[in-house]
Structure 1
Amino acid sequence: MSAVNTEAQTVLTREQLLASPEDEYMSAPQLEFFRALLLKEKQALLDNAHETTEHLQENEATPDWTDRATIEEEHALELRVRDRERKLMKKIDQALARIDSGDYGWCEETGEPIGVPRLLARPTATMCLEAQERHEALERVSRG
């Protein structure tokens, strides 16, 4: 049975993506795979933020000062995690914009392919591994 290319084509599986030939790099089906992956991650972050909002609105009145301190510390930790997730949300939105513009999957520094395995590990990556390593090495040197 042969697959027919239609407008309503199903999204590739991870295995199909990894098995794709090099000449199909960042083809429409591959871009759709990453769009779906990014949107799923974005939804998970939004769900987490909603849960945090509900959790922080719960009044946990307790007369014990140590319990109150523990609750406050848990809330502070939760807010720090959500702040990191907020920054990730911005990166996800930028990655989705790169998909729309046709720049997704290509290193912003070298113009070379970032690579499917790297994008699977970090779908918001903007640089190929070599460029990222150079960038991090320069940061370490400048921090000194």
Structure 2
Amino acid sequence: MTKKTVKLPANYMPSDDEEFMNPLQQEYFRQKLLAWKADIVAETRNTVEYLKGENVSHPDPADTAAANADRQLELRTKDRLRKLVNKIDKALRRIENGTYGYCEETGDPIRLKRLDARPIATLSIEAQEMHERGERLQAG
């Protein structure tokens, strides 16, 4: 089954006045996620090129240590970005299967403002806060 392509009106913003996760909202978030992913992929490519060109061997041991620390930071950042791309891909799959925008714990719609700020959100603010309270209780 092929999906019908939805064209977003210029300057479209999802609104609480329309049906939740209608085709326009789905397309809006799909495009937002794809643009975010493209930015991350480009940033990662730049990091890889930087690391390839970086000479870690310096005559001064302090310079070598600093370069190694920078390299480790770049690698950690790259790993975080890889995990973020994975979350973006999962969000895109949720759009495809019709579960995007709904809290994984309660099934309730996630507020549009939250999705706009954090398009990979899988929990409503309320469920997220309960989750964080539970984590703090376990840690404490």
TM-score, normalised via structure 2 length: 0.88
CA distance in 2, matches of 1:78, 1:58: 13
- Closer, same or farther: CA 115–8 of 1 in aligned 2, 3 Å: closer
CA distance in 1, matches of 2:49, 2:32: 26
Q: Which residue of 2 aligns with 1:30?
A: 25
CA distance in 2, matches of 1:8, 1:133: 34
Q: Which residue of 2 aligns with 1:3?
A: none
Q: Which residue of 1 aligns with 2:68?
A: 72
How far the C-alpha of 1:21 sits from its partner, in A, is: 4.0
> SS where residue 17 of structure 1 aligns?
coil
Work out whether residues 104 and 122 of structure 2, in 8 Å CA contact, stay in contact via their aligned partners in 1: yes
- Supply the AA of the counterpart residue of 1:82: K
How far the C-alpha of 1:9 sits from its partner, in A, is: 2.0
Number of residues of Structure 1 aligned to a counterpart in Structure 2: 136
**Partner of residue 62 from structure 1, selected from 58, 61, 80:** 58
1:45 aligns with 2:40: yes
- Closer, same or farther: CA 8–100 of 1 in aligned 2, 3 Å: closer
Ranges in structure 2 where 5+ consecutive residues have no aligned partner: none
CA distance in 2, matches of 1:90, 1:7: 24
**What are the superposed Cα offsets for residues 15-60 of structure 1, whole Å, 9 maximum, x if unpaired?**
x424x24442111011111001101111111111111111111142
| Superposed CA RMSD | 1.8
- Closer, same or farther: CA 84–130 of 1 in aligned 2, 3 Å: same
CA distance in 2, matches of 1:101, 1:135: 25
Q: Which residue of 2 aligns with 1:10?
A: 8
CA distance in 1, matches of 2:78, 2:19: 36
**Partner of residue 120 from structure 1, selected from 112, 116, 120:** 116
CA distance in 1, matches of 2:104, 2:72: 35
CA distance in 2, matches of 1:55, 1:11: 39
How far the C-alpha of 1:65 sits from its partner, in A, is: 1.9
Work out whether residues 109 and 131 of structure 1, in 8 Å CA contact, stay in contact via their aligned partners in 2: yes
- Supply the AA of the counterpart residue of 1:89: V
CA distance in 1, matches of 2:60, 2:79: 29
1:88 aligns with 2:97: no
> SS where residue 63 of structure 1 aligns?
coil
CA distance in 2, matches of 1:111, 1:12: 31
CA distance in 2, matches of 1:128, 1:96: 18
